[in-house]
Structure 1
Amino acid sequence: MDVNNPIIENIANPHELERMFRKEPEAFKNSFSYAWEQNPDSQVLAVWNERLHFKETANTEKATLLKKNFLSIGILAILAGISTRIMLHFAEQQAIAPINLIFGILPFIAAYFVYNNPPKKNILYTLVSLFLISGFYINMLPIENTDSIILAYLHLPIFLWVLIGLAFTGNEYGIGSRRLAYLKFNGEFCIIYASMAISGMLLSALTMQLFTFVGMDIEEFYFKNVVLFGAAALAVVAAYLVSRNLKLAKNIAPYIAKIFSPLVLATLLAYLITVIWVGQNPFLDRNFLISFNGILLIVLAVTIFSITESGTDEKKNISDYINFALIVLALLIDSVALSAIVFRLSSFGITPNRIAVLGVNILIWANLIWIMLSYIRFLQNKTGPSTIQDAVTKYLPLYGLWAAFVTFTFPLVFN
């Protein structure tokens, strides 16, 4: 027996072998080859041989799978870019409505989720059917700017967003943690997409400036054929990067949530105090009521983003109290908005816009009440953070149902 080989010296000491491997994996592997040749009957070295070679096989399989996924996402991204460019052409000819551009992006993101996490056949058939029905229905509507059709255009992306959520969660669509993961995906997706979009805009500005130096104006061509294609393709690529657990988004998202929550709270408090001071009235001023609802949606989005990024830590911190203050503020804004909408309905009559805004405000108001009550119980140490997250995730399908209701019924009822 060769006493110069450290593995042979410690062949009867499993603890020392493990320590050697963890300290210097490469040196261990080099020494192991000789030790295994000299002791082919050793059960200890046989186990180590399987362990080392199995790891190499696993890495090879992982690399092959990664290459396969990268190829599939590349094809989907190219198809998304081509589809969006074709739809822009028909939209410019006024053959289809511009809203169809979302069908050049969202179905391909859903397709990637289905490919990456194959669902049961009934879920797959539901996804395909609803995407096809949505596309067919929206193109059966007349291309005109009536209130009911504009509302359908505005609510369709929300409905399709919920469908993508179904594709993301797959067979686990009823599990709260998967819905929460989908919400986290959206926040991280926005971070990644914004980062790539900024880089793309800088490249576009540089490219057009370079062509300007030689007397060529390529702005229109470049935006239609390069920027639009890239914007659609990058959306699919961003979905892939987030699903691959890209550390950039996952590391940045919690910090953005912690930074933006207090900033939004301070800004909105200052804004509301100013509004009261100058005497703006959402009951009579339609434009101010619209901005009021816009503020409500921003507060709701920031609050949900902050909740989803807060994790499952049972220990309360300043962020929880800021989130609670944001929810109370959003509830106050929504209550004022609801009162103004009811006043306008009773004073000026029923219109599709007022019914749509009333419906979404009632939905948000109920959701905020649920989240606020959950937060109160959490701050009183009666429940954990999962209760708050349930109040967010379990309510998501209702937004999709309302969006579907407005999209598919309002153009028929109010035209």
Structure 2
Amino acid sequence: MEEHAGLEAQIQVWRGYVARRRAISPADLDELEDHLREQISERRAGGLDDDEAFLVAIKRMGNLDAVSREFAREHSERLWKQLVLLPEGPAVAGPPPRRELAVVLSLAVGAGLALKAGLTWLGEDAALLRNVGLLVFPFLVAYFAWKRRITARTAIALAIPFAILVLALNTYPFDSDGSTWLLAALHVPVILWLLAGVAYVGGRWRSDGRRMDFVRFTGELAIYFILLALGGGVLIGLTFAVLQLVGLDLEPVLESWILPFAVPGALVVAAWLVEAKQDVIENIAPVLTRVFTPLTIAMLLAMLIVLTTAGRLVDVDRGLLILMDAILVLVLCLLLYALSARDPLAPPGFFDALQLILVAAALAVDAVMLTAMLARIAEFGFSPNKVAALGLNLLLLVHLVRAAWLSAGFLRGRRPFAALERWQTRYLPVYGAWAAVVVLVFPPVFAFA
């Protein structure tokens, strides 16, 4: 497989480009990629090398004339241009915009109704916190299922783990004063995120390119959700201020109706916006990663200095260790998003070196945190929180060490970028497996305390 890494990288660049254009519907993209791979295999069997087979196959993709022409123009420095410039042709239309908007708004309202029902039946306590993701998740997946036209087999594969989570979180006799229920509530979104990824890629989770598409989607979804939240917050704040001036109190309505509908609804709408406006985000993503990567490096180095000069590591505050875990997860998300926004065929450059520094800084912070956690365990013994944090940091350590090794090899010209990309996406299910252990195994092991 390694000798065809260059070909895989070219296919993923092509797929990523096509996915960002409205020339074809997203539901047809998987079928078109399969057709492209068949064409490449036929050309290679006829004696062509990988590059030649790719070029000829692209030329023969008659259904993608318009997209191929745009792709060639944007990559005019490559040989593809002379083989891909084809006459204008009609594009395959996606779902009618009004119909899709109606589906999205219906699902957004449904998610709000589900959360409102949860508030009514479960109350504002631990039970709601455990189930909030389960209440919203079906509506987000329903949008992907409609958009990707997932098969019954994929739907069953999603329904089974979802049902297991529902049963476990609502039948386990959690101790309200314990920590296992909170750990379960914090780790359930990780599992649901990966299940949503299976729906997003139409059930084809084994494809490295499709997993990277989902990573890219996740970053763009976060951007749109934050923008919607900021805009909605400003509008609600202005309305709140105006009504207060005339003697009306909006707070009860805000807590009981506006927020329960706005937050889950914004998530569904943000997913739709990412699908509909990917060509806009495509220009934002590289800018964001280039701005925040050096800032994050500076933050990690500052935290490293603070941790190493704070005295005995066993005396480091537990809250600080939890906060550091959250920061490391955010750093990993930034790294993944930066990789997803990069042109796989571009040669290594300054920003790639900067990302290696980011990984090295994260590794140093993670090593200090692991030392502090082991010291606390030796001093105070095991607990669900300590074991969960230790497991997460060990996973991060393995992830970052391998990423640093592959990044260094890419910078030295000894490894293709595709190897680094594959490692990042193939390691993601490990986090889901660990989250499942915390949700399903930790409570009985620690007597639900």
The normalised TM-score by structure 2 is 0.75
CA separation of 1:271/1:93 partners in 2, compared to 1, >3 Å: closer, same or farther? closer
* Equivalences for residues 281-300 of structure 1 within 5 A: 281-287=312-318, 288-300=320-332
Are residue 84 (structure 1) and residue 118 (structure 2) matched?
A: no
* Equivalences for residues 368-379 of structure 1 within 5 A: 368-379=400-411
CA separation of 1:95/1:372 partners in 2, compared to 1, >3 Å: closer, same or farther? closer
CA distance in 1, matches of 2:239, 2:283: 32
Structure 1, 68-77 or 203-212: larger mean CA deviation: 68-77
User: Aligned to 1:381, what secondary structure does the other structure show?
Assistant: coil
Q: Which residue of 1 aligns with 2:138?
A: 107
Pick the aligned partner of 1:254 from 286, 289, 298: 286
Return the offset for 1:357. Answer: 1.2
CA separation of 1:204/1:275 partners in 2, compared to 1, >3 Å: closer, same or farther? same
Q: Which residue of 1 aligns with 2:30?
A: none
User: Aligned to 1:170, what secondary structure does the other structure show?
Assistant: coil
Are residue 386 (structure 1) and residue 418 (structure 2) matched?
A: yes
Give a deviation string over 1:99-127, Cα, whole Å, max 9, x none.
Answer: 32222322211111111112333221010
Q: Which residue of 2 aligns with 1:40?
A: none
Are residue 363 (structure 1) and residue 395 (structure 2) matched?
A: yes
Return the offset for 1:401. Answer: 0.6
Structure 1, 168-177 or 94-103: larger mean CA deviation: 94-103
Are residue 98 (structure 1) and residue 129 (structure 2) matched?
A: yes
Pick the aligned partner of 1:161 from 193, 202, 212: 193
The AA in structure 2 aligned to 1:276 is T
Are residue 116 (structure 1) and residue 150 (structure 2) matched?
A: no
The normalised TM-score by structure 1 is 0.81
CA distance in 2, matches of 1:116, 1:129: 21
Give a deviation string over 1:125-167, Cα, whole Å, max 9, x none.
Answer: 0101222221222112346141112111111111111111111
Are residue 219 (structure 1) and residue 251 (structure 2) matched?
A: yes
CA separation of 1:344/1:236 partners in 2, compared to 1, >3 Å: closer, same or farther? same
Pick the aligned partner of 2:260 from 228, 243, 249: 228
CA distance in 2, matches of 1:94, 1:403: 22
Return the offset for 1:414. Answer: 0.6
Are residue 188 (structure 1) and residue 228 (structure 2) matched?
A: no
The AA in structure 2 aligned to 1:233 is G
For the Cα contact (< 8 Å) 2:225–2:266, is it kept in 1? Answer: yes
Return the offset for 1:302. Answer: 2.0
Structure 1 unmatched ranges of 5 or more: 1-50
The AA in structure 2 aligned to 1:207 is T
Q: Superposition RMSD on alpha carbons, in Å? A: 2.3
CA distance in 2, matches of 1:105, 1:247: 27
For the Cα contact (< 8 Å) 1:356–1:406, is it kept in 2? Answer: yes
Give a deviation string over 1:32-57, Cα, whole Å, max 9, x none.
Answer: xxxxxxxxxxxxxxxxxxx99x94xx
Give a deviation string over 1:40-85, Cα, whole Å, max 9, x none.
Answer: xxxxxxxxxxx99x94xx68x64x6333322221211110111111
CA distance in 1, matches of 2:300, 2:392: 21
CA distance in 2, matches of 1:168, 1:282: 42
Q: Which residue of 1 aligns with 2:66?
A: none
Pick the aligned partner of 1:138 from 169, 176, 187: 169
CA distance in 2, matches of 1:167, 1:96: 26
CA distance in 1, matches of 2:99, 2:276: 13
Are residue 316 (structure 1) and residue 338 (structure 2) matched?
A: no
The structure number with the bigger radius of gyration is 1
CA separation of 1:349/1:174 partners in 2, compared to 1, >3 Å: closer, same or farther? same
Return the offset for 1:298. Answer: 2.7
Give a deviation string over 1:253-295, Cα, whole Å, max 9, x none.
Answer: 2100110000111222133224434x34433224233333233
For the Cα contact (< 8 Å) 1:148–1:410, is it kept in 2? Answer: yes
Are residue 243 (structure 1) and residue 270 (structure 2) matched?
A: no
Give a deviation string over 1:230-267, Cα, whole Å, max 9, x none.
Answer: 11111001111112243332221210011000011122
Structure 1, 207-216 or 172-181: larger mean CA deviation: 207-216
The AA in structure 1 aligned to 2:442 is F
Return the offset for 1:329. Answer: 1.1
CA separation of 1:93/1:180 partners in 2, compared to 1, >3 Å: closer, same or farther? closer
User: Aligned to 1:97, what secondary structure does the other structure show?
Assistant: helix
Structure 1, 69-78 or 336-345: larger mean CA deviation: 336-345
Structure 2 unmatched ranges of 5 or more: 1-86
CA distance in 1, matches of 2:148, 2:328: 35
Return the offset for 1:95. Answer: 9.0
User: Aligned to 2:303, what secondary structure does the other structure show?
Assistant: helix
Pick the aligned partner of 1:66 from 73, 97, 113: 97
User: Aligned to 2:127, what secondary structure does the other structure show?
Assistant: coil
Instruction: Report the count of equivalent residues.
Output: 360
